[in-house]
Amino acid sequence: MSHQSLQPGQTAPFPADDGTPESSPGGVRKGQPVPPAMLAKARSTPRSVRIVREGDMMTMDFLPDRITIVIDAGGRVISSRRG
């Protein structure tokens, strides 16, 4: 991953998440279960990937190399984003 020099308060641009692997951080798809590789990565390196249920509390710190995946009660992806 290449790193950009950002000014205070500025965030790195990422493509819109339209549900396709090419645009979704981590290649996860809305409405699908979290891919096994992402589950394994979340378990082994939680600072790189975090998986949270919709409505759960979480820190709001922005880590540009982290992927946050929000899932529903059934374990299906609602959204994914960097940070």
pTM strictly above 0.85: no
The pLDDT confidence band at residue 10, using thresholds 50, 70 and 90, is very low
Per-residue confidence (pLDDT) for residue 81, from 0 to 100: 87
Could you give the percent of the chain with pLDDT greater than 90? 24
Q: How many residues in total does the chain contain? A: 83
- Please work out, in degrees rounded to the nearest 5, the angle formed at the alpha carbon of residue 54 by the alpha carbons of 77 and 12: 70
Q: Is the pLDDT of residue 49 over 60?
A: yes
CATH second-level architecture of 31-82? 2-Layer Sandwich (3.30)
pLDDT band at residue 46, thresholds of 50, 70 and 90? confident
**Is residue 24 over pLDDT 80?**
no
